[in-house]
Structure 1
Amino acid sequence: MCSVTTPYEVAVIDEIQMIKDPARGWAWTRALLGLCAEEVHLCGEAAAIDLVTELLYMTGEEVKVRNYKRLTPICVLDQALESLDNLRPGDCIVCFSKNDIYSVSRQIEIRGLESAVIYGSLPPGTKLAQAKKFNDPEDPCKILVATDAIGMGLNLSIRRIIFYSLIKPSINEKGERELEPITTSQALQIAGRAGRFSSKYKEGEVTTMNREDLRLLKEILNRPVDPIRAAGLHPTAEQIEMFAYHLPDTTLSNLIDIFVDFSQVDGHYFVCNMDDFKFSAELIQHIPLSLRVRYVFCTAPINKKQPFVCSSLLQFARQYSRNEPLTFAWLRRYIKWPLLPPKNIKDLMDLEAVHDVLDLYLWLSYRFIDMFPDASLVRDLQKELDGIIQDGVHNITKLIKISETQKLLNLENLSAESRSRLQGPLKSQARRTRMAKTSGSRAAEPSGPGAAENSLASRLVQQGLLTADMLKQLEKEWLTHRTERDKERTESGAYSKGSRRKKGPDSD
C-alpha cells in the first residue's frame, strides 16, 4: 500500500479501473482519495472517468480528462487457430489456468518449437526475463504462453493474441468462485497486447483456439464497456479500534463481520469482500497482539491457497508477539536456504511460495522496521531465488515432462499395489467360479474391482473413465468388504467349534 502521509510532488496511479475490484478495489480508492500529492496522474480505462470525476468533484479537486487513441490498428480474425500446428512467430496463447499453461507448453515443445511462459505467481524478475527472451529477435523462442498477467506492466512484441479459452475463474462479491466468460474490459485489455506501437508488428491480430469461441469473442469485444458505478472501501484501523472500544472481548474477525453488517454506504461506494482479511484474522487469532498490529498483519497480501505462505504469516506474527526481531539469519534458517533448483513442477511451485514469503517479509518491514530489520539483505536473497526460479521456468517443459513421468509411475505403483493386495481374493474368486460351474450353479459371486487383466486399471485411468482417487476408493471398499466377510466367517467358525466342545463332555 502506498503511503498517504508522505508528501509528493507527482504521483501516478495505474490501472485505475481496479477501483471496482470486489476484493482489492479499496486500495485504489485509498490511493485516489488519500495520496498527499500536488498532482496525481491516473491511467486506465475510460469506464472509470465518470466515477472518478464525481468522487473528486465532491472533494473539491480539479480534474482534467485526456483521451488517447491506440496508435496501431487491431483486427479480429475470421478464422480460429484450431491446431497448434498453425502457430507462427509472434503468437501469444492466453490461458486462464496453470494446467492449461503446462499442457500447451508441452504440446508446443513436442512440435519442436520453443516458448516463453508468463503467469501471475512468477516473480517480477522471472516475468521480465521471459518477456526479454520472447522479444529478442535473435532468440529462437518465438511463441509466448501466458495468462492475463500480460495485460498489465509488460512490454511485449506480440503479433497475434490467441485465446485458448474464454472462460475464466473469478471471485464474486460474496467471495464465491465462478466460471464465467471474460468481460469486455478483460478481453480488450488482453487483446490490446497485440501489435503495440513499440513492437515490430504494426498491426495486431486476435483470434481463438477453438472455432466455436470465435463468435463469442467478437460479441464480447463489440459490447460497450459498462461504466464503473462504485469504488471499493475497507474499514480502517482507526474505525476498527473505535468499534472495538465498545466490544472489547470480540475477536477481530467478528468485529469485521459486525462492522460490515452495520455499515451504510451511498451509491458511489461498496464495502469490499473481507474474506481474505478474516482468514488471516482467524489464523493469528490466538497470538497475543495489539489490535493495531493485528490489523496490519491481516492486511498483508498473502495467497491463502499456499500453506507455506500462511504458516509463515503465523510464524512472523508469533515472533513479533515475543518481541524477537526476525533477522536475516533467522529467515535463512526458516526457509532452509540455500535452496536447490526445481526438479519438477511441484518444486517450482514451492520456490514460488518461498518468494512470496520473502515478499511478505519486505511488506512487513515497511511497517515494522525494528522487527523486520534486514530488508536490504532479504532483497538480495530474493534476487538469488528469482534466478533459481528463472532457470526452472527456462526448463519448464523438462519439469512438466518429469512431473508427467512421476504421475505415471505413481499410477503404475498404485495399480501394482492394488493387484498385489487383490491377488488372493481374485484367486479365491476364480476357484469359487470354477466350482460353481462344475456343480451346475447358475450364479456366482461378483468379482472384485481388479478382476480383469493386469493393465485394466491403468487403461481406465488413461482413458479418463477412472481417476487415481476413484481407484483408491474402489480398492478401499473392496478390502473393507473382504475384511468384514472374513470376520463374519471367523466368528461363525468359532461359534461352531464352541458348540462342538460343549457337546463333547455330554456325549461321553
Structure 2
Amino acid sequence: MNAIQKRTFRFLVDRFKLQESLCSRLWWAHVFSSHAYGQDGLQRVPGNNEPCSKRSTHSWSRHRYGIVPHSSPNRLYPSLTCPLRRHTSRHYSDSDSNTNNGNGEKNISTLFIPVPVKTTFNPDDINIGEELGASLKDKKAELLKVLNSFYRRKEIQRLAAENGLDELLFHQAFVSFRKYIVEVESLEPDLHIILSDILVGAGHVDDIFPYFMRHARQVFPALDCMDDLRKISDLTDPAQWYPDARAVKRKIIFHAGPTNSGKTYHALERFCTAKSGVYCGPLKLLANEVHMKTNDKGIMCDLVTGEERRYANPEGIPASHVACTVEMTNVNQPYEVAIIDEIQMLRDPSRGWAWTRAFLGVAAEEIHLCGEEAAVKLVQQLAESTGDEMEVRRYKRLTSLKILDEPLGCLENVRPGDCIVAFNKNDLYSISRQLEAMGKECAVIYGSLPPGTKLGQARKFNDPDDPCKIMVATDAIGMGLNLSIKRVIFNSLIRPIINEKGEKEMDRLSTSQALQIAGRAGRFGTQFEEGEVTTFLASDLPMLKEILACSVDNIEAGGLHPTAEQIELFAYHLPEATLSNLIDIFVNLSKVDNNYFVCNVDDFKFLADMIQHIPLHLRARYVFCCAPINKKHPFICTMFLKFARQYSRNEPMTYDWFCRQIGWPLSVPKNIRDLMHLEAVHDVMDLYLWMSYRFMDMFPDTAIVHGIQRELDDIIQEGVVNITKLIRATESRSPNGVASLPDDEIERKKRTGKSADLKNKSKSKASGTRNQAQSDGSSDEETNGDKLDQGKLGSVSGRLSKELIKQGLLSEDVLDQLHREWRSSGMGGVKGNKGGGGGRKKKKKK
C-alpha cells in the first residue's frame, strides 16, 4: 500500500473502533441517566430523590462522546481528555475562570487578544473527511444553522465557562470557530465526520463541543497555561527575589524626621567611615552632591546614574563607595553600609518599585534609611518579613518654621530671600515677567530644566553678592537643592496629581508635599536660621494652616514592578501577545499582599505601543520601554522612535548621525518656544546616554555626546537668565499679543470642562458687550477690544471665575490670555447679530 492508502486504512480502523465503543459509552450514559435522572428527566441530587429545577450540565454527555470514563483514556482524541475531565472534576474551582484580578479592577478576559488560527492546505492531499463522509462545500447554510444552534445552547455556555471561557471569550472563540469551519479548504477528518453526521440527523450539536474547545485553546493560548501565568505573576513574597540580601544578616537604621533635621547628614557620616558603601538617592542632583562631597573628603566615590558613569579613579577602576540614583542600585554587590534616601518614596505610584527593590535587595550589613516618620511602620513590617534587625532614630527640625498670619497679597510685598512656588509654568512665567517689570531680578527653577541649569540658578540665588534675591520655582525645589530661602510663598495650594489609576487630576497639596516644600525655608547653615511660610492669596492661608497641622498618614504599601525575566516567562506562554498586552495581563493577574502594590505602568505601555511595529527582541523592547522620557513632547517621542528603528536595523547611532537628527549646533533661544525645544533636545541627549550604557555597541559616542550636552546646558542656562526677555519676545511674536505658552495644566482644565464652563460664561458676557457696542453704532475693532477687556474684568468678578482664581486653578493672566484668544479666533466679533459680520469685517469695509 502507498502512503495515502495506509493513512486511509488507519483512519477507517479508528473509525470502526469509535463506532464499536459507542455501545459501551451509551451504556455508561444509561447508568448515569438512571442514577442521576428520574423518569421525569430531571436531575436528582445524590442522597435525595427530589428533582433539581435545572437540567444538568452533563445532559450533553448522553450523546456520542459524552462520558469518558476515568478508567479508560481517550485514545482517539488525547488532546480532548483534559477539558472533559476538568468538566467532570469537582476540584476545579470557580476562581480558575474568574475574570477579575485580586483587586477586582479589570475584567481579565478583555485583555486576551484572539490569535488567528493558522491552517495549512496542500491541494495534493486527499480530503479524507470527504472520502468517508459527504462534502460540506455546498452546505454552508446548513452548517451555519447547526453552529448557531450550538452557540445558543445554555448547556454549552455553562460548559465553556467551566473551561475558562466567560461570555466574551466564548463569543470571540465561537466567531473564530465558525469562520474556520466555513472558510477552511479541508477540515480535520474527525470534525468533518461529526458535522456530516449532525447534518444527516445522526449526531447532536453538543458533539461539537470538544472540537470547539480545541479551537478555543488555539485562539486563546492562555487557557492552557493560566495556572503557570498566575504562578509567574505571584508577587506575594518579593523578598525572596534577592537571595544575596537574604544571606546577609542586615541591620536597618531608620533616620526619621522632617526636612532640615540632619537625618541624611548623620547617615552620610557613617557612610564615609565605612570600608565600602552605596548611597541611593531620588535625584541625579543628590547623587552628584554626595559624589562630590565624599571625594572632597579624600574618599574615592564613583557616580552612577541612568545617564552617567563617573569614576573617581582616572583609570576607571571601581571605587569602594558609590553614589547612585535609586533605580541604579546594584543588588548583586556586597557593601558594609547602604543609604536609601527619601525612603517614603516607596509609596510613589510610578517610581515606588525602585525604593522597594533597593530596600529588599541591597546586600549590606548596615542599611540607613532616611525619610518621613510615616514610613516607619511599613518598613518595620517589611523588616519582619526579611528577618532583619531594625532601629529607629528620630530627629527634630534644626531651625524653626513659622506659618505667617498674613498672605503676600501682591508682588510689591516680596522681599529678599522669598521663594514663590507655582505649580505650572504659565504662572511661573507670568510671575517672573511681573517681577522683572518692577525691576526685581529673580531666579527660576522648574522640573524640566537640566541639572546644571538648576544648580546655576541656585548658586545665583544663594550668592549674597548677586542682585538676584527672589526665586520663582515649581515643586522641583522640594528635593536636591540647598537654597538660602527665608520665606516660602505658595502661589496656589491646588496642583495636578497622578491618581492610583494613572489619571491626572487636580487636588490640593498633601501634608507631606506641603511640608517638603515649606521645609526649604530657614535651612540650617544658611543666612536665614528661621523659616517662614505663607500664601499669595488670603483665602488660601486657612487651608495652608490646616494642611500643615495635619499629621502625615502612615504609608500602607510599597511599589513593585514586573521584571524583564517575569515578562519573558509570560511571553514564552503567550508568544503572539504584544509587550503592552503582556504587561496588562501580568498586572491584572498579579497577586500581592497588603504590604505591596503594583506600580502604574501606563508610561511603559505607551512606549511599548509606540514601537510595537518595529521588529525587536523582547529583552531589547523591554529595555527601550523602561527609558525615562517625557512622552508628552513630540520631538522626544520622534527621536525615541528613530532610536528603536535604527537599533532594529543594526545601524549604530553615531555622533554624526545624532547631530543631524537634533540639528546641532544650536543657538541661544530667542523666545520661550525655543527654550522649550532646547530642553527637549537636552532630554534626547539624556536618552542617548541612557541607551549607551545598555546598548554600548549601538550608541558608541557616549563621551562626545556628554560634551555637547554640557555645551547645551550652558546655552539653556543663558536663556533662563534672560527668561523675561524670552517672554517678551514670545508675546511680541504671538498674533494676539500674548505669550502662547503650551502648558499641560491648561489642557487638563480644558479636558475636565472647567475652562469650558468659564469660556461659556465669559462668552455670554462678551456677547452682551458686543450687542451694546453695536447699538451704540460702534463697529471699530479697537472699540470691541476695549469692551471685551471691560467684559474680562466683569468676568473676573463672576462667581465661577472667582472660585477658579481662589483655588489657584486659574490666574488673571491666563484668563486674559483666554479672552484674547477667543477674540482673535472670531468669538470677539458680533457674529450672528443683525447688521452683518463682526468688527473685523466692518473694519475691512471701512
Query: TM-score range with shorter-chain normalisation?
Result: 0.7 to 0.9
Point out the more displaced range, 251-260 or 39-48. 39-48
Q: Give the aligned partner of residue 145 of structure 1.
A: 472
- Displacement of 1:349 in angstroms is 0.5
Amino acid across the alignment from 1:468:
E
**Residues 410 and 90 from structure 1, CA distance in 2 versus in 1: closer, same or farther, beyond 3 angstroms?**
closer
**Residues 87 and 285 from structure 1, CA distance in 2 versus in 1: closer, same or farther, beyond 3 angstroms?**
same
- Displacement of 1:40 in angstroms is 2.8
- Displacement of 1:467 in angstroms is 4.8
- SS at 1:28's partner residue? helix
Q: Is the 8 A contact 1:11 1:40 kept in 2?
A: yes
Q: Give the aligned partner of residue 124 of structure 1.
A: 451
Determine whether 1:306 maps to 2:636: no
Q: 1:74 aligns with which of 401, 410, 414?
A: 401
- SS at 1:75's partner residue? strand
Q: Is the 8 A contact 2:736 2:821 kept in 1?
A: no
In structure 2, what is the Cα distance between the partners aligned to 1:477 and 1:245?
65
Determine whether 1:114 maps to 2:467: no
Q: 2:821 aligns with which of 458, 468, 476?
A: 468
- 1:8-87 alignment runs, 5 A limit: 8-87=335-414
- SS at 1:66's partner residue? strand
- Displacement of 1:382 in angstroms is 0.9
- SS at 1:348's partner residue? helix
Determine whether 1:103 maps to 2:430: yes
Amino acid across the alignment from 1:407:
S
**Residues 109 and 474 from structure 1, CA distance in 2 versus in 1: closer, same or farther, beyond 3 angstroms?**
closer
Q: 2:421 aligns with which of 83, 88, 94?
A: 94
Which structure is larger by alpha-carbon Rg, 1 or 2? 2
**Residues 61 and 83 from structure 1, CA distance in 2 versus in 1: closer, same or farther, beyond 3 angstroms?**
same
In structure 2, what is the Cα distance between the partners aligned to 1:457 and 1:4?
67
Amino acid across the alignment from 1:158:
I
- SS at 2:339's partner residue? strand
Point out the more displaced range, 465-474 or 5-14. 465-474
**Residues 339 and 459 from structure 1, CA distance in 2 versus in 1: closer, same or farther, beyond 3 angstroms?**
farther
Amino acid across the alignment from 1:211:
A
Deviation string, structure 1 residues 356-412 (Cα, Å, up to 9, x no partner): 111111111221122222222211111100000000000001111111222255689
In structure 1, what is the Cα distance between the partners aligned to 2:384 and 2:826?
63
Q: Is the 8 A contact 1:157 1:196 kept in 2?
A: yes
In structure 2, what is the Cα distance between the partners aligned to 1:95 and 1:299?
30
Q: Is the 8 A contact 1:185 1:225 kept in 2?
A: yes
Q: Give the aligned partner of residue 289 of structure 1.
A: 616
- 1:132-171 alignment runs, 5 A limit: 132-171=459-498
In structure 1, what is the Cα distance between the partners aligned to 2:671 and 2:738?
17
Determine whether 1:335 maps to 2:688: no
Amino acid across the alignment from 2:439:
G
- 1:206-221 alignment runs, 5 A limit: 206-221=533-548
**Residues 457 and 298 from structure 1, CA distance in 2 versus in 1: closer, same or farther, beyond 3 angstroms?**
farther
Deviation string, structure 1 residues 339-365 (Cα, Å, up to 9, x no partner): 011000010000000111111111112
* Cα-Cα RMSD: 2.6
- SS at 2:544's partner residue? helix
Q: Give the aligned partner of residue 522 of structure 2.
A: 195
- Displacement of 1:38 in angstroms is 3.6
- Displacement of 1:466 in angstroms is 4.0
In structure 2, what is the Cα distance between the partners aligned to 1:385 and 1:104?
26
Determine whether 1:176 maps to 2:503: yes
- SS at 1:273's partner residue? coil
Point out the more displaced range, 361-370 or 268-277. 361-370
Q: Give the aligned partner of residue 249 of structure 1.
A: 576
Q: Give the aligned partner of residue 271 of structure 2.
A: none
Q: Is the 8 A contact 1:411 1:458 kept in 2?
A: no
Q: Is the 8 A contact 1:457 1:471 kept in 2?
A: no
Q: Give the aligned partner of residue 166 of structure 2.
A: none
Q: Is the 8 A contact 2:736 2:820 kept in 1?
A: no
Instruction: Structure 2: give runs of 5+ residues left out of the alignment.
Output: 1-326, 740-773, 793-815, 833-846
Amino acid across the alignment from 1:248:
P
- SS at 2:371's partner residue? coil
Q: Give the aligned partner of residue 701 of structure 2.
A: 374
In structure 2, what is the Cα distance between the partners aligned to 1:410 and 1:246?
59
Q: 1:265 aligns with which of 581, 592, 601?
A: 592
TM-score with structure 1 setting the length: 0.83
In structure 2, what is the Cα distance between the partners aligned to 1:318 and 1:457?
53
Q: Give the aligned partner of residue 418 of structure 1.
A: none
Amino acid across the alignment from 2:613:
H
In structure 1, what is the Cα distance between the partners aligned to 2:785 and 2:331?
60
Q: Give the aligned partner of residue 722 of structure 2.
A: 395
Amino acid across the alignment from 1:73:
S
Point out the more displaced range, 369-378 or 402-411. 402-411
- SS at 1:43's partner residue? strand
Determine whether 1:226 maps to 2:553: yes
Amino acid across the alignment from 1:254:
N
- Displacement of 1:262 in angstroms is 0.9
Amino acid across the alignment from 2:657:
W
**Residues 282 and 458 from structure 1, CA distance in 2 versus in 1: closer, same or farther, beyond 3 angstroms?**
farther
Q: How many equivalent pairs are there?
A: 447
Point out the more displaced range, 305-314 or 220-229. 305-314
Q: Is the 8 A contact 2:822 2:828 kept in 1?
A: no
Q: Is the 8 A contact 2:488 2:534 kept in 1?
A: yes
- SS at 1:235's partner residue? coil
Amino acid across the alignment from 1:344:
N
Q: Is the 8 A contact 1:461 1:468 kept in 2?
A: no
- Displacement of 1:334 in angstroms is 1.4
Q: Give the aligned partner of residue 344 of structure 1.
A: 671
- SS at 1:117's partner residue? strand
TM-score with structure 2 setting the length: 0.51
Q: Is the 8 A contact 2:730 2:738 kept in 1?
A: no
Q: Give the aligned partner of residue 307 of structure 2.
A: none
Q: Give the aligned partner of residue 229 of structure 2.
A: none
In structure 1, what is the Cα distance between the partners aligned to 2:687 and 2:563?
20
- Displacement of 1:5 in angstroms is 2.9
In structure 2, what is the Cα distance between the partners aligned to 1:222 and 1:142?
30
- Displacement of 1:337 in angstroms is 0.5
Q: Is the 8 A contact 2:823 2:829 kept in 1?
A: no
Point out the more displaced range, 465-474 or 155-164. 465-474
Identity %: 64
- Displacement of 1:34 in angstroms is 2.1
Deviation string, structure 1 residues 256-301 (Cα, Å, up to 9, x no partner): 1111111111110111111101100000000111111111110111
Q: Give the aligned partner of residue 278 of structure 2.
A: none
Determine whether 1:357 maps to 2:684: yes
Amino acid across the alignment from 2:440:
L
Amino acid across the alignment from 1:472:
S
Q: Is the 8 A contact 1:184 1:223 kept in 2?
A: yes
Q: Give the aligned partner of residue 437 of structure 1.
A: none
Q: Is the 8 A contact 2:422 2:490 kept in 1?
A: yes
Q: Is the 8 A contact 1:460 1:466 kept in 2?
A: no
Deviation string, structure 1 residues 280-324 (Cα, Å, up to 9, x no partner): 000000011111111111011111111111111111111111111
Amino acid across the alignment from 2:730:
S
**Residues 299 and 192 from structure 1, CA distance in 2 versus in 1: closer, same or farther, beyond 3 angstroms?**
same
- Displacement of 1:8 in angstroms is 3.7
Q: Which has the higher contact order (CA 8 A, sep 6+)?
A: 1
In structure 2, what is the Cα distance between the partners aligned to 1:286 and 1:59?
42
